[in-house]
Amino acid sequence: MSYPDSCHFSATQVNTLIDSLVEHGWFIGPQILDPALCQALHQEVMGRAEQQSMNRAGIGRGKDHELREDIRGDAIHWLDRETLAQRRYLDAMAELQLALNASLYLGLFEYEAHFAHYPAGAFYRRHLDSFRGRANRVVSTVGYFNPDWPRDAGGEMVIFDRHDPDREVARVSPEAGTFVCFLAEQVPHEVLPTRQPRASIAGWFRRNASLGGVVDPAR
């Protein structure tokens, strides 16, 4: 499979993304990701789910990690640059990281991401991706790869106001090509129960929150 060299973001897209991130704390971009790349990533997620080469996702990191199906029901696989499609996606994120650092002085130094497969019935309750005081994940990203997502299939991501967490401000259908990002420690969001299998990559630009010479653990 080959992808056009220009599958990365255009200057206009990056500027719109940065403006929206500053103004609202989030950005939603339909039809941003290259269709051939989305198709390859969709195949990879679905293949991994079928072969059961993904792990049940939990909440909390390190020793606090636990499985909580009442909170989130997806299975994940951390990106490892194993396939061309993964490398293309990560290259696009590396470019975005440079642009975010250049415009917003965020000091992002790393990007971590996992495939996510939500089987029918799965959801992810309202949460933040990072907690204040452990300011490691700064900007969250989600890329969606599902072709022809029906209107009644559920599985939307709901974004809530960063100053009023009960106020819904946007609802995103996980349609192939859509790319979303938001401030990880400020913007509450949730994944509504999906009625059909749902494929995505969730990723985070991180700041180095090392303290006392102890490198902040990634996951």
**Interacting residues with Fe ion (CB under 5 A):** 129
| Shortest distance (Å) from residue 10 CB to Fe ion | 26
How far is the CA of 180 from the CAs of 4, 35, 63, 212, in angstroms? 21, 16, 30, 34
Of 129 and 185, CB closest to Fe ion:
129
Helix axes 35-50, 84-104, angle to 10 degrees: 120
Of 129 and 156, CB closest to Fe ion:
129
The binding site for ligand AKG (CB under 6 A) comprises 116, 124, 129, 142, 157, 189, 191, 200, 202
| Shortest distance (Å) from residue 77 CB to ligand AKG | 13
| Shortest distance (Å) from residue 160 CB to Fe ion | 12
- Answer with the entry of ligand AKG, Fe ion, none that 37 interacts with (C-beta below 5 to 8 A by kind): none
- Answer with the entry of Fe ion, ligand AKG, none that 136 interacts with (C-beta below 5 to 8 A by kind): none
- Answer with the entry of ligand AKG, Fe ion, none that 204 interacts with (C-beta below 5 to 8 A by kind): none
Of 24 and 103, CB closest to ligand AKG:
24
| Shortest distance (Å) from residue 202 CB to ligand AKG | 4
DSSP-assigned states of every residue in the chain: ----GGGS--HHHHHHHHHHHHHHSEEEETT-S-HHHHHHHHHHHHHHHHTT-SEE--BSSGGG-B--TTTB--EEEE--S-SHHHHHHHHHHHHHHHHHHHHH-----EEEEEEEEE-TT--EEEE-SS-TTSTTEEEEEEEE-BTT--TTSB-PEEEE-SS-TTSEEEEE--BTT-EEEEETTT--EEEPPBSS-EEEEEEEEE----BTTBPPP--
Of 9 and 204, CB closest to ligand AKG:
204
- Answer with the entry of Fe ion, ligand AKG, none that 142 interacts with (C-beta below 5 to 8 A by kind): ligand AKG
| Shortest distance (Å) from residue 72 CB to ligand AKG | 7
Of 6 and 139, CB closest to ligand AKG:
139
Of 88 and 114, CB closest to ligand AKG:
114
| Shortest distance (Å) from residue 102 CB to Fe ion | 26
